[in-house]
């Protein structure tokens, strides 16, 4: 660890100390350890193409399995999510049909659309006001 008592005379020594410090911190990171939770998150990240997390396979066989798992699993996940979306759409249409008393549809905006627009507006306003620099605004807005 760098403290006030350590004096580095050359840039190469300083760079080596920084590299060693980074490596020891990276090895101590608990997010890099495989556990059931991190493995489940890793598998979910592969299937949904999110890529969230820091856990990765270290062996060539593990990496090969990940490629095969993603190659087969991603299309299956897309099909499942598409079918889930269709089912939910049909369910919503049935609920609308039951709840509507055979009133003709008008061209006004419905409540859920208005709610969605308000949420987007409030979220973007919050991030605009909460950030200091333009670059930070773009990164946070991109995440939002």
Are residue 98 and residue 112 in the same domain, yes or no? no
List Cβ neighbours of 46 (8 Å cut-off, separation of 6 or more). Answer: 66, 69, 70, 73, 74
Are residue 45 and residue 17 in the same domain, yes or no? no
Whole-model pTM: value is 0.48
Please, what sign has the CA dihedral across residues 45, 46, 47, 49?
positive
Are residue 84 and residue 119 in the same domain, yes or no? no
Task: Residue 67: give the domain boundaries.
Answer: 34-105
Helix axes 60-99, 36-47, angle to 10 degrees: 70
The whole-angstrom separation of Cα 31 and Cα 45 is 15
Which CATH number goes with the domain that contains 95? 1.10.287.70
* pLDDT by 10s per residue, the chain, length 144: 455 445 546 677 777 777 777 766 655 566 667 788 888 888 888 988 877 767 788 888 988 998 999 999 999 999 999 999 999 999 988 888 888 766 556 556 777 788 888 888 888 777 777 766 555 555 555 444
Are residue 23 and residue 73 in the same domain, yes or no? no
* Cα 130–chain centre separation: 21
Are residue 90 and residue 112 in the same domain, yes or no? no
Are residue 123 and residue 133 in the same domain, yes or no? yes
Are residue 48 and residue 98 in the same domain, yes or no? yes
Domain count, the chain: 3
Tokens of 102: 């055979």
């Amino acid at each position: 660890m760098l403290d006030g008592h350590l004096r580095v005379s050359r840039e190469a020594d300083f760079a080596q100390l920084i590299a060693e410090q980074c490596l020891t911190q990276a090895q101590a990171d608990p997010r890099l350890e495989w556990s059931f939770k991190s493995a489940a998150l890793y598998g979910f990240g592969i299937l949904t193409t999110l890529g969230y997390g820091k856990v990765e396979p270290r062996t060539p066989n593990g990496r090969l399995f990940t490629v095969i798992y993603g190659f087969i699993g991603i299309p299956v996940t897309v099909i499942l999510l598409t079918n889930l979306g269709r089912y939910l759409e049909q369910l919503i249409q049935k609920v609308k049909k039951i709840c509507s008393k055979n009133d003709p549809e008008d061209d006004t905006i419905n409540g859920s659309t208005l709610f969605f627009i308000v949420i987007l507006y409030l979220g973007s306003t919050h991030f605009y006001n909460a950030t200091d620099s333009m670059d930070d605004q773009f990164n946070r807005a991109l995440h939002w």
